[in-house]
Amino acid sequence: MALRFFNTYSREIEEFEPGDLSGRPIRMYTCGPTVYSRAHIGNFRAYIFEDLLQRHLELRGYKVHRVMNITDVEDKTIRGAREAGIPLQKFTEQFKEAFFEDAHTLRIKRADEYPAATDQRYIDRMIEMISALISKGLAYQADDKSVYFRINKFPDYGKLAHFDLTQLQSTGRVKHDEYDKEHIGDFALWKAWDEADGDVKWASPWGPGRPGWHIECSAMSMALLGDQIDIHCGGVDNIFPHHEAEIAQSEGVTGKTFVRYWLHCAHLLVDGQKMAKSLGNFYTVPDVLAKGYTGRELRYALLRVHYRVPLNFTWEGMNEARESLGRIDEWLARLKQIATNGNAQHPTPNAQRPTAAFEEALDDDLNISAALGFLFESIRQTNRAMDQKEMDAASASAWLDWWKRINTLLDLEADTDVAIPHEVEQLAQQREKARREKNWKRSDELRERISALGWEVRDTKDGPKLTRGAGTA
């Protein structure tokens, strides 16, 4: 079956037909972080969804060229730098670094390019695009010296968001806050410099100023991926006005369809509300690590629900993630043991073999919930087969090969490079001794001491096993 995705533009599930790919990869653009503070884990839900999408396309044999922009100039970054009393570049640098560190912790595959909006070559491109829009009558400079997109001249404006523009219709000129726009919905392409901007300014045909947020993405995607791109992603809050504006700007300049497939992920919520900086209800990756969880556990917690379904963040959900990963770890350890030593007394060679169901679930609009459901059902059944000594070495190897393949997109295997500290080993041995002596009180005390050191001891059929991650949470 072909890949199918829900396209926000048509509001329908569509077959993925990227056209002629000879000699070129899939062109994918993903809106990146605005670096005025550390990204929160809601932002990372969007990046993990995009990571899964890229990895699944690659698993299905496509080559992907992915660009993720860094928004390092807009209102919030300028305000932040001013308040901190440091140059914009210096202010944003720390959050760029933090973003890459967190993305690494969450095992997010690096994009091919991370263009920054303040790079002069993209500023030049933005200026070129704005000039072209003005010459086509699609943009104008207002009395405040800023340049605005004239939405009434672009009939498709509102199509992505399925937005009824009549709600925004205005007759004549509207005085809107401090500036003079023709239409209340016209958005800024170029913002004229004012004192509050300090030394953040670039020269342009319309006087000194800086680009609007939307034109940054249009210019960077066009510069790096060409006039037309295959897939464009973001969170649902990007649909309007950001992506709607990107379409108007890019198509306004080229006259060609800008994006073939628009994919948006639902929000990460806290108590039913969007996790957002402005609401103050957010956690960062370091916040979650400080509670004793690992990047792998957070990756799982953010990955496990279908991208179009809102996901509520809870610490209970983090504990469930830990438990699910523990089941995978134990299962893999058992399979490895049987693949090497065999354990079958009553082998049923073909009864327990992996199928394509996991990957097919992902073909269906990236249905990770169904795919994981299949994984855990397989774990349950194969564990039973191993309990009953029905799994032969060849079947165990087949399951391990299957895992290796699906793990190219899950990327959830335990870190093997984390050595168990000597102290933890010793405590685990003492605990095992206490258990053999049926000294449950001492055994529990030792478990707690192990846990306080950030490790968890599990009693499996093959004896006690130590895993990373248990902590103070």
Question: Which residues are near Zn ion by CB under 5 A?
Answer: 31, 217
Shortest reach from residue 234's CB to Zn ion, in Å: 6
Which residues neighbour 353 within 8 Å (Cβ) at sequence distance 6 or greater? 395, 398, 399
Sole window of 97-105, 173-181, 264-272, 363-371 interacting with ligand AMP (rule: CB under 6 A)? 264-272
CA 111 – CA 118 distance, rounded (Å): 19
Number of residues in contact with ligand AMP under rule CB under 6 A: 17
Q: Left if phi > 0, otherwise alpha if psi is -120 to 50, otherwise beta: which for 272?
A: left
Shortest reach from residue 434's CB to Zn ion, in Å: 57
Sign of the C-alpha dihedral, residues 357, 361, 363, 368? negative
CA 30 – CA 110 distance, rounded (Å): 12
Task: Assess 471 for contact with ligand AMP (CB under 6 A).
Answer: no
Say which entry of Zn ion, ligand AMP, none residue 33 contacts (CB below 5 to 8 A, set by partner kind).
ligand AMP
Shortest reach from residue 70's CB to ligand AMP, in Å: 10
Shortest reach from residue 213's CB to ligand AMP, in Å: 8
Task: Assess 211 for contact with ligand AMP (CB under 6 A).
Answer: no
Say which entry of Zn ion, ligand AMP, none residue 217 contacts (CB below 5 to 8 A, set by partner kind).
Zn ion
Nearest CB to Zn ion, comparing residues 217 and 266: 217
Task: Assess 423 for contact with ligand AMP (CB under 6 A).
Answer: no
3-state helix, strand and coil shares in percent for the chain, rounded to the nearest 5? 45, 15, 35
Nearest CB to ligand AMP, comparing residues 157 and 282: 282
Residues 141/188, Cβ–Cβ less than 8 Å:
no
Restricted to residues 316-355, the positions that interact with ligand AMP (CB under 6 A) are: none
Sign of the C-alpha dihedral, residues 44, 46, 52, 55? negative
| Listed residue (277, 274, 284, 185) closest to 236, CA to CA | 274
One residue of 123, 215, 268, 368 binding ligand AMP per CB under 6 A: 268
Nearest CB to ligand AMP, comparing residues 183 and 214: 214
Q: What is the largest CA-CA distance in the chain?
A: 88
One residue of 16, 27, 29, 34 binding ligand AMP per CB under 6 A: 34
Sole window of 160-168, 179-187, 271-279, 399-407 interacting with ligand AMP (rule: CB under 6 A)? 271-279
Can you give the length of the chain in residues? 473
Residues 293/318, Cβ–Cβ less than 8 Å:
yes
Say which entry of ligand AMP, Zn ion, none residue 322 contacts (CB below 5 to 8 A, set by partner kind).
none
Which residues neighbour 43 within 8 Å (Cβ) at sequence distance 6 or greater? 33, 235
Residues 341/384, Cβ–Cβ less than 8 Å:
no
Which residues neighbour 177 within 8 Å (Cβ) at sequence distance 6 or greater? none
Task: Assess 160 for contact with ligand AMP (CB under 6 A).
Answer: no
Site string (44-73) toward ligand AMP, x via CB under 6 A: -xx---------------------------
Sole window of 57-65, 134-142, 272-280, 349-357 interacting with ligand AMP (rule: CB under 6 A)? 272-280
CA 285 to chain centre: 13
Sheet holding 273-274, edge to edge: 273-274, 268-270, 311-312
Residues 216/117, Cβ–Cβ less than 8 Å:
yes
Task: Assess 234 for contact with ligand AMP (CB under 6 A).
Answer: yes
Shortest reach from residue 317's CB to ligand AMP, in Å: 14
Residues 207/174, Cβ–Cβ less than 8 Å:
no
One residue of 158, 235, 252, 471 binding ligand AMP per CB under 6 A: 235
Shortest reach from residue 310's CB to ligand AMP, in Å: 8
Nearest CB to ligand AMP, comparing residues 265 and 396: 265
At 444, list the tokens: 């529990």
> Under the rule (CB under 6 A), what is the footprint of ligand AMP?
31, 33-34, 42-43, 45-46, 234-235, 237-238, 265, 267-268, 274-276
